[in-house]
Amino acid sequence: MKETAIKQILSVLLLAGIASLCAIAFSQAPAEQDLRFTDVAAAAGIRANMRCGGPEKRWITEANGSGAAWLDYDNDGMMDLLIVNGGTMEQLRKVLAGETPPSAPGSIYLFRNLGNGHFEDVTERAGLANPYWGTGANAADYDNDGFTDILITTIGRDLLYRNNGNGTFTEVSKAAGLSRNTAWHSGSAFGDFDGDGRLDLFITGYVDIHSMSFEEPAPVCDYLGQHVFCGPIGLKGERSILYHNNGDGTFTDVTKASGVANVPPAHGFTVVTGDFNGDGKLDFFVANDSDPNFLFLNQGNGTFKESALDRGVGFNADGRVQSNMGVAVGEFGKSGRTDLLTTTFQKDYFPLFRQDKSGMYEEVASAAGLAAATSNYLGWACGLTDFDNSGAQDFWSANGHIYPTEKTYYEPITIFRSMQDKIVQVYSFPDPPNNSYRGGCTGDFNNDGKMDLVVLPISGTPVLLQNDTANRNEWVGFALRGTRSNRDAIGARVTLEACGQKQSEEIRSGGSFVSRNDPRLHFGLGTCSKIDKAAVQWPDGTVQVLNDVPVGRYVTIQEPK
């Protein structure tokens, strides 16, 4: 009996040891098994041929790609998709010579969501065309008429398309007072910076296109022993523009009067709105390529103060300027703070700026593990999104090198997760990489509560990653409609309390890389099936408290009149 008892004890210990090892193995298993995506672009009817100059990339204009935007232009509750395309060097030379070339097919795409997992190309029917080299995509109801309008930034003249409310658009940039100068503009953001209920407009400038020569032969610079195109270092930067909305369908250039012109020209890529110092006023952050970033803090009197250095977001932790392309703002994991991230060049790292209790930011990418996880990528579009509805936001990025001769020209779309105070990569698509990616944006195109992702390559066809992650996590979404505030409610914030957890998110414009995410706010709830309280702080500071908010659906909230 003693021998039998010993065998039983050893058996129990052995099983316990195996269970322990299994537990360790499970805890160390990559989290990518939780995420499932399927590229459904072709099956869904998203057929676009992306172009950005020639394949050799002999000028910097051919390297940066373009953006996309999710929008509901026909108010049917389904997200439609706008894709902006680049151009050819022949086309660009004509524009710089003062000509307006005819719009080439495929210069812009509008895909209407049919609601059954399929899209219809309605570009021509909608009256959309672009004779310039397209760069950025954005959308907003700038005239508060109940229909979402479209803005396209270009190397040329920016294009503002007013939604006619019948499925068509009219190009009104000249009549609306936008600049008629030929310039290289990239990102854009709408926001009501003076609280009058109307959306103003910030547009970033990248390079002074008139200071460059596009005559053959192309200028050549050195990169690690390779002969490559030149820039942006050594090229003259461009100024950004701030427009004030006059309320009659027109804008006034207030760049000088607002103080935005006080900063030197820079290589600005992506701009995003937000209340970055917690004073209730709308600010702008600009990711600059090879220049210090800009943070324009709203002074409340029609002017802005550039405060990136003062607030800790101008440089990385080493005090170095980085090649910043895309921007993500939110709460990475469950940090409890507002995080701001930018994507950067390869052999560098993506900085993570984390806000402290005083409202200042500290760059913590190295300590958090993000520096090691991202140093091998050259990142562009990015965002903070709860892909598995766990209640914590993941960080995603679209990556790709700029020099075709580089071995890592093809790079994947990646997702990073904050796990036990460390950031790890949990998803990569495709494997192996087969393209070089640029613009992109998240949106729930099938309204199933799982955020999908569209990403544009530098050439070839777009990727539409349908989120097929399978779990029982709950979610809720909010579509806010301003009445006294701007109709898009840009600047409003929703704070959610559920099962002892609190989440908060602001409606922003801009961000990612010259693209526009789904304008609705999305919250994952994990296993929590009941929302205790939801509070909406509207742009004017008024707080609206909501009880008995249903889960598992999108809820439309109208601002009290």
> Tens digit of pLDDT for each residue in 230-243?
999 999 999 999 99
**pLDDT (tens digit per residue) in 455-489:** 999 999 999 999 999 999 999 999 999 999 999 99
Cβ(112)–Cβ(119) below 8 Å? yes
Output DSSP code: residue 123.
H
* Torsion from C-alpha of 521, 456, 107, 186, nearest 10 degrees: 70
For residue 220, is pLDDT > 70? Answer: yes
The per-residue pLDDT for 420 is 79
3-state secondary structure of 80: strand
The answer to whether the beta carbons of residues 452 and 445 sit under 8 Å apart is: yes
Query: Among 9-13, 287-291, 416-420, which is the least confidently predicted range?
Result: 9-13
The pLDDT of residue 2 is above 80:
no
pLDDT confidence of residue 348: 97
Q: What is the pLDDT of residue 537?
A: 98
Q: What is the pLDDT of residues 105-135, one digit of tens each?
A: 999 999 999 999 999 999 999 999 999 999 9
Give the rounded percent of residues in the chain with a pLDDT score beyond 70: 94
pLDDT tens track for 487-497: 999 999 999 99
pLDDT at 419: 87
Alpha helices in 295-442, H assignment, sequence order: 308-311, 365-368, 370-374
At 561 the pLDDT is: 87
User: Is-contact 162 169, C-beta < 8 A?
Assistant: yes
pLDDT band at 166 (very low <50, low <70, confident <90, very high): very high
Rounded Cα distance, 494 and 354, in Å? 20
Q: Name the pLDDT band for 221 (thresholds 50, 70, 90).
A: very high
Other C-beta atoms within 10 Å of 453: how many?
Answer: 26
Q: Which of 12-26, 177-191, 387-401, 542-556 has the lowest mean pLDDT?
A: 12-26
Confidence category of residue 514, pLDDT binned at 50, 70, 90: very high
Helix (H) or strand (E) holding 536: strand 533-537
The overall average pLDDT reported for the chain is 93
Residue 31, pLDDT above cutoff 80: no
Strand residues in 192-319 grouped as ranges (E): 200-205, 221-223, 226-228, 241-245, 251-253, 268-274, 283-288, 294-298, 304-306
Banded pLDDT at 12 (limits 50, 70, 90): very low
pTM of the complete model beyond 0.85: yes
Which of residues 419 and 386 earns the better pLDDT score?
Answer: 386
Q: Specify whether the CB–CB gap between 559 and 197 falls below 8 A.
A: no
Provide the pLDDT for residue 20: 36
Q: Is the pLDDT of residue 15 over 80?
A: no
Average pLDDT estimate for 269-291: 97
Q: Is residue 192 over pLDDT 50?
A: yes
Counting every residue written for the chain, the total comes to 561
Of 279, 273, 311, nearest to 292 by C-alpha is 311
In the predicted model, what is the mean pLDDT of residues 13-33? 36
| pLDDT on residue 104 | 87
Q: Quick: pLDDT tens for 434-447.
A: 999 999 999 999 99
pLDDT at 66 > cutoff 80:
yes
Residues 391-415 have a mean pLDDT of 97
pLDDT of residue 526: 97
What is the predicted pLDDT for the residue at 335? Answer: 80
- CA distance readout (Å), 314 to 202, 222, 379: 19, 27, 18
Whether the per-residue pLDDT at 28 is higher than 70: the answer is no
Residue range 414-425, pLDDT digits in tens: 999 998 778 999
Per-residue confidence at 336, pLDDT binned at 50, 70, 90?
confident
List, for residues 496-505, the tens digit of each pLDDT value: 999 999 999 9
pLDDT over 90, % of the chain: 91
* pLDDT tens for each residue of 529-561: 999 999 999 999 999 999 899 999 999 999 998
State how far the Cα of 480 lies from the Cα of 146, in Å rounded to an integer: 12
Q: What is the model's pLDDT at position 337?
A: 85
Provide φ and ψ at 136, rounded to 5°. Answer: -115, 155
Residue 551 one-letter amino acid: V
Going by C-alpha positions, the residue among 312, 316, 318 that lies closest to residue 337 is 312
Give me the mean pLDDT over the 5-28 stretch. Answer: 35
